[in-house]
Amino acid sequence: MGIVEVLKSFGLSDYEAKALATLISKGALNAREIAEFSGIPRTSVYDVMNNLKSKGFVEEFGKPVKFKAIGKDEILSTFTRKTAENLELLREEISKLKVEEVEIVRLYRGKTVLEKLGELVTSANREIIALVSFLKPELKDILSKANCRLIIISENADEVKGETYKLEYKGEKVAKDISHGLFVFDDSKFFAIFLNDVSIGVVGESYSLVQFAKLMIEPLLRELKDKTTRSS
């Protein structure tokens, strides 16, 4: 492994590593010489030098301006110090991490789907966010029992009390015999639901599943909020 690759392994960019290696071997150089010996485009030399100066590896002097690397011992000392600092930071961050248990995703079918949804709705104590294609009567009845902030995006969201946003289908007919959607409860539980002739529900509590559901819901929610603000 050459010196350029070694320097890159310590976090320097390709151009930074080439420039520093050139200055170490050639001594003080101006921008044109650095470009010539290192192969870096001349238009990039000053940006690269500024980066190396900010990292403490290069000094600038004279008129016209020349650049030189700090002493070899100083370079080694700087990398040693930075490596030690990074290791200590890594040690601290690792100690903060909690080992997450294997995610258990539960699947519900039939009448137990609505029973589980009702349990999640009544147990939520801060916020429920729902994105549902169409609120069938049984869903409206369950959501009406919420004891916390309720945010609903649906074709007929206004039929339930809460913060509601209409889901528009741009000319398509809404299938009122089918309900499918996502729920997030207190930023800690995820629930996917499909209600038709066969009812299916999927529940999970991992951070990744909850974030996935929010990733699906929040961009649409922001868009609908902005639209409501503009029209008011």
pLDDT, one tens digit per residue, over 114-125 is: 999 999 999 999
From residue 201, alpha-carbon distances to 83, 103, 223 in Å are 49, 16, 27
pLDDT of residue 171: 53
pLDDT of residue 232: 59
From residue 217, alpha-carbon distances to 33, 157, 182, 189 in Å are 55, 15, 8, 14
Q: Say what the pTM is.
A: 0.54
Above 80 in pLDDT, residue 97? no
Above 80 in pLDDT, residue 230? no
Q: What is the mean pLDDT of residues 84-95?
A: 79
Reported as a pLDDT band with limits 50, 70 and 90, residue 102 is low
Interval 193-216: pLDDT, tens: 988 888 899 998 888 888 888 888
Above 90 in pLDDT, residue 80? no
Average pLDDT over the chain reads 86
Reported as a pLDDT band with limits 50, 70 and 90, residue 127 is very high
182 DSSP β-pair partners: 131, 192
Show the domains of the chain with their CATH numbers.
3-96 (1.10.10.10), 106-231 (3.30.870.10)
Q: What is the mean pLDDT of residues 32-58?
A: 92
pLDDT of residue 142: 94
Interval 161-181: pLDDT, tens: 989 988 776 555 556 778 888
pLDDT exceeding 70 applies to what percent of the chain?
A: 92
Q: What is the mean pLDDT of residues 30-37?
A: 93
